[in-house]
């Protein structure tokens, strides 16, 4: 490039002088030969400059084409990468959708299983409640029978005679009280013994107890009392009519005040 610049700088002066000399028309053959020589030299320098510029442009064009090809290859590679990423994203999305569907199906099956288990548990609870109620009724019958048998046994000579012998020497005023206490003790002793035997033999289910009997009796009395009050309320409404509703409510409250103290007293006991 340095040599090229020196040659171009050295040839600029002859070119200028040649251009200035070309502006004058040749008059003699010598001037014509010199004119042709200068024209040939000028054409050679101009062609050399054009060739140099053409090669420089060709090189620039080749470099530009190479850069364009490189950029095209990079664009193709990036496009392939984008396609691969898009395909991978689609696969991941499809896998996530499938997993979501599987999770939803699993949750649905789990909910159905839980619902079936709850239904079975409720059915078993109802069956257990019926079984306990049946055992409770059986225990009520057995305990009632034991109480009746114990009441009959304390009146037999096997118990009444020893009680009479124990109270014969006592004064007449305390003789009845001591006799009643001894018979009561004998009654509970016989009943407890018979209940233990019934439990051992499997006749008694050990579900019913005196406290449970009391609670069941209070519950039954309350329910029965509410039913009676509801029936009386309906009768009072029919008697007094719909226009005199306050009197019917007052009569019903009076009935409640009369009936409820007995039930509350039993519950407190």
Rounded Cα distance, 48 and 46, in Å: 5
Tell me the average pLDDT across 217-233. 86
Q: Which domain holds residue 225?
A: 210-269
Q: What is the pLDDT of residue 60?
A: 85
Q: Is residue 204 part of a domain?
A: yes
DSSP of 2-22 = HHHHHHHHHHHHHHHHHHHHH
Q: What is the pLDDT of residues 108-130, one digit of tens each?
A: 999 999 999 999 999 999 888 88
Q: What is the pLDDT of residues 232-268, one digit of tens each?
A: 888 777 776 554 545 545 555 554 444 444 444 444 4
Q: What is the pLDDT of residues 61-70, one digit of tens each?
A: 888 888 888 8
Q: Is residue 94 part of a domain?
A: no
For the record, the structure tokens of 178 come out as: 């001591």
Rounded Cα distance, 207 and 59, in Å: 110
Q: Are residues 215 and 259 in the same domain?
A: yes
- CA dihedral sign, ordered 103, 104, 109, 112: positive
Q: What is the pLDDT of residues 165-181, one digit of tens each?
A: 877 777 777 778 888 88
Task: Tell me 71's DSSP state.
Answer: H
Rounded Cα distance, 109 and 106, in Å: 5
Q: Are residues 256 and 215 in the same domain?
A: yes
CB atoms within 10 A of CB 191: 19
Q: What is the pLDDT of residues 3-60, one digit of tens each?
A: 333 334 444 444 445 445 445 555 677 777 887 878 888 888 888 888 888 888 888 8
Q: Is residue 142 part of a domain?
A: yes
- Picking from 163, 180, 208, the residue at the C-terminal end of a domain is 208
Q: Is residue 50 part of a domain?
A: no
- Cα–Cα nearest to 214, from 156, 266, 251: 266
Number of H helices, E strands in the chain: 6, 0
Q: Is residue 154 part of a domain?
A: yes
Q: Are residues 219 and 168 in the same domain?
A: no
Q: Are residues 159 and 218 in the same domain?
A: no
Q: Are residues 177 and 224 in the same domain?
A: no
How many independent structural domains does the chain possess?
A: 2
């Amino acid at each position: 490039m340095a040599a090229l610049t020196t040659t171009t700088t050295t040839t600029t002066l002859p070119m200028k002088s040649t251009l200035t000399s070309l502006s004058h028309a040749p008059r003699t053959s010598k001037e014509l030969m010199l004119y042709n020589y200068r024209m040939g030299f000028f054409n050679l320098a101009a062609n050399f400059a054009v060739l140099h510029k053409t090669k420089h442009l060709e090189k620039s064009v080749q470099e530009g084409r190479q850069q364009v090809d490189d950029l095209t290859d990079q664009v193709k590679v990036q496009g392939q990468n984008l396609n691969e990423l898009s395909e991978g994203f689609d696969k991941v999305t499809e896998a996530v959708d499938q997993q979501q569907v599987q999770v939803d199906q699993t949750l649905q099956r789990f909910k159905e299983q839980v619902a079936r288990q709850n239904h079975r548990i409720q059915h078993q609870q109802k069956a257990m409640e019926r079984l306990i109620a049946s055992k409770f009724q059986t225990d009520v019958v057995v305990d009632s029978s034991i109480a009746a048998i114990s009441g009959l046994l304390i009146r037999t000579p096997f118990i009444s005679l020893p009680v009479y012998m124990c109270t014969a020497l006592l004064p007449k005023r305390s003789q009845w009280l001591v006799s009643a206490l001894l018979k009561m003790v004998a009654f509970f002793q016989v009943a407890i013994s018979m209940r233990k035997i019934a439990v051992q033999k499997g006749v008694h289910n050990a579900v019913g107890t005196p406290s449970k009997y009391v609670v069941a009796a209070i519950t039954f009395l309350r329910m029965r009392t509410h039913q009676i009050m509801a029936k009386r309320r309906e009768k009072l409404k029919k008697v007094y009519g719909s226009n005199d509703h306050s009197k019917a409510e007052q009569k019903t409250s009076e009935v409640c005040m009369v009936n409820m103290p007995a039930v509350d007293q039993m519950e407190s006991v």
